[in-house]
Chains A and B, each alone.
Chain A
Amino acid sequence: MNLYEKIIALYPELADYDFAMGDITLQNDSDGRGDYIAKWEHPTLSKPTNKELT
């Protein structure tokens, strides 16, 4: 399960969210560290903790 899928599992209401234009940015710098949350400025949902994403 990738980061996006974990976030959707945690917050199903984000399934229709536009990650391209919204307040949440998932990013991968192709440096071997994988996907990460580069920006989380959602007005109501709190940024998932590392524990919630494992």
Chain B
Amino acid sequence: MATIINADTSNGLKLTSDTSGEIQLQSAGTTIATVDSTGLTMASGKLIASTGPAFSAYNAGTQAVSAATITKVVFNSENFDTNSNFDSTTNYRFTPTVAGYYQINVGIYYQGANNGFILLYKNGSVLSRLAGTQSGLAMLSGSALVNMNGTTDYLEMYAYDGGGQTIGSGSSSLMFFDGFLARAA
């Protein structure tokens, strides 16, 4: 058995106590989760819903990248930005206000790459080089898991092309930058 805490629809809180060292959390008599000495276990089909920051930004137009010049990609539109942490008007950067580890994804279409690649910048410096190609039309995409302090840390995407190139092609699916809190600090 277990100590049961049940949010009953007729009587409100119902508490059944024992000495098993286990607690079952119930809603209307249905077990949602169990807590014991090993930790919290969700019942089959039940979820812990995360409310951490998530964003999805894009550029539905095109952008010129000068030859051999690392250029910040202008993500000036948003599909969503749950915590208002993405700046799509001035700096085109993600500054999460919750500390933790963020899964970051990016995709950029090159109309004809010449040693083109994508760079993830953290706080104004290169953090990682995500994807690259030697030549030709290319949809470059990459991802990273980044530790953010929830106050001053910010992320930006830069694009490079050895010969100069146009990125994007007039579709929101061809130049995107998104991410979410994968694990709290």
Binds A, one of B36-44, B64-72, B98-106, B175-183: B64-72
Q: Does A35 lie within 8 Å of B66, measured CB to CB?
A: yes
Given contacts A20-B115, A20-B117, contact A26 B70 (CB under 8 A): yes
CA distance A4 to B91 in the complex (A): 24
Q: Does B66 lie within 8 Å of A38, measured CB to CB?
A: no
Q: Does A19 lie within 8 Å of B74, measured CB to CB?
A: no
**Residue B160 interfacial (CB < 8 Å):** yes
Interface size on B, residues (CB 8 A): 19
Interface size on A, residues (CB 8 A): 16
Which of B63, B68, B91, B92 has the most chain A CB atoms closer than 10 A to its own CB? B68
Task: Give the residues in chain B near A49, CB-CB below 8 Å.
Answer: none
**Residue A46 interfacial (CB < 8 Å):** no
Task: Give how many A-B residue pairs fall within 8 Å (CB-CB).
Answer: 48
B72 shortest CB reach to chain A, Å: 4
Q: Does B71 lie within 8 Å of A4, measured CB to CB?
A: no
CA distance A3 to B73 in the complex (A): 18
Q: Does B160 lie within 8 Å of A28, measured CB to CB?
A: no
Q: Does A2 lie within 8 Å of B162, measured CB to CB?
A: no
A48 shortest CB reach to chain B, Å: 14
Given contacts A28-B72, A30-B71, A30-B72, contact A20 B66 (CB under 8 A): no
Task: Give the residues in chain A near B92, CB-CB below 8 Å.
Answer: 30
Q: Does A38 lie within 8 Å of B164, measured CB to CB?
A: no
B6 shortest CB reach to chain A, Å: 56
Partner of A5, one of B67, B70, B117: B67
CA distance A2 to B115 in the complex (A): 19
**Residue A13 interfacial (CB < 8 Å):** no
Chain B, residues 148-159, CB within 8 Å of chain A (1/0): the string is 000000000010
Listed in ascending order, the chain B residues whose CB lies under 8 Å from chain A are 63, 65-74, 91-92, 115, 117, 158, 160, 162, 164
